[in-house]
Structure 1
Amino acid sequence: MIESGNTLGDLLGDDDVGADAAQWALETQADPDTFRAAMGRVVGSVTVVTTRHDARAWGMTVSAFSPVCMEPATVLVCVNARTVTAVDIHRESRFGVNLLSQDQLSVSQLCSRAGAVKYVDDHVVASSQLPAEVASPVLRNSLVTFDCEVTEARTVGSHLVVMGQVRAVLAPDSRRPLLYGQGRYQRSVDIEELLTMTEAAA
């Protein structure tokens, strides 16, 4: 129940009161540390790229994922060029992009450990339950998985930037997305639902 007097800003944790008078917290050239701190404020879906390493399912959490175009369906991911995942993508020319749900927090934690072994055999859908054309590991309980074939890959600075044409899309029952930003995991909020609740309480 919403207590009377609560505003939508209260429910969303809106702390922008007086924002016009706020000082810049970051005001410098785009050096690596400042850029990293600024990007840490971006809140987005937790994304795990899956490949096969030594014939086993392997996953790595990435912070850079984006759709590129609809025709042909193409996505972009960035992975550290010195990682096992980058080597696997180069070798296999296939990779999976899994947008995680709130049921997969442990998977995200496993796949985000720098330098750690990231086999995800216990978290993937059995190949016998997947369409024959799906070549990449599919993480169980994901919001959606894109099975992709590499169309272009180039090194930019420390990272491998990969564009992949989507060969298959798997989207099971709708789930709540797992979000990350500002240095911590976050939960999604249905703003339309909150608006309906505030209107009902008014």
Structure 2
Amino acid sequence: MTPPPTVDTRPFWAGFPSGVAIVTALAGDGRPWGMTCTSLCSVSLDPPILLVCLRCGSPTLEAVQETGAFCVNLLHDGARGTSNLFASGAADRFDRVRWRAGPGAAGPHLTEAAHTIADCAVLEDRTVGDHAVVMGRVEGLARLGPQRPLLYGRRRYASWPEAVDADEAGIAPVPLRLASVIEGLG
């Protein structure tokens, strides 16, 4: 029996715009890893669980699996260059951006590129095709400022028409354990 032909779904997904995030993690040796990700969605609000899909074999996925933690950095519309950098696989990407990973951080916080950051603990990961679906419980949330989210679709970037403040977005104040990290960004 001949297997069915593989369907190229890239045009389908190009027509489905999404926000842009960079998933980051620290390996057991403390080395930072990260990759651009548009495969992100909410799984549950109570408890707060999200999922990301990461390419099998990527060092970022390996760091997430090794440490059981990761960070989701939601990018603002001024961070197109950072999105491209982390999609490129450049070995020196963390040398070319500003980031912090202090107490309470599940991975590097991209302090100049992100408008909101979620620190997550891995609940489960499962390989599906050429990616791993990683579910994480959101342990902390930090809003860095009212920015317009970076969007991607039809193979190009766009932005939200206006900035949204934290109250309008429904984001609670920064938890105390993350407040010291954010205050130290200066």
TM-score normalised by L of structure 1 = 0.71
Does residue 149 of structure 1 match 2:121?
yes
Higher relative helix content: 1
Q: 1:124 to 1:165 in 2, by over 3 A?
A: farther
Report deviation, 1:71: 1.2
* Structure 1 moving runs of 4+ over 4 Å: none
Which residue is equivalent to 1:120? 94
Over residues 121-176 of structure 1, what are the superposed CA-to-partner deviations in whole Å (9 max), with x where a residue is unaligned? Answer: 4534434xx5x322311111312111001000000011100000011101121101
Aligned length: 157
Which residue is equivalent to 1:81? 56
Does residue 100 of structure 1 match 2:75?
yes
Q: 136-145 vs 156-165, which deviates more?
A: 136-145
Q: Which runs of 5+ in 2 are unaligned?
A: 163-186
Does residue 109 of structure 1 match 2:80?
no
Contact preservation (8 Å) 1:151, 1:165: yes
Task: Give me the CA root mean square deviation.
Answer: 2.0
Q: Which runs of 5+ in 1 are unaligned?
A: 1-28, 191-202
| Percent identical residues | 33
Which residue is equivalent to 2:13? 39
Q: Which amino acid aligns with 1:138?
A: H
SS at match of 1:143: strand
Over residues 42-92 of structure 1, what are the superposed CA-to-partner deviations in whole Å (9 max), with x where a residue is unaligned? Answer: 111111101124523222001200011111111100011121111111111
For 2:22 and 2:5, locate their aligned partners in 1 and report how far apart those are by CA, in whole Å: 27
Contact preservation (8 Å) 1:60, 1:112: yes
Report deviation, 1:188: 2.0
Q: Which amino acid aligns with 2:63?
A: D
Report deviation, 1:119: 3.5
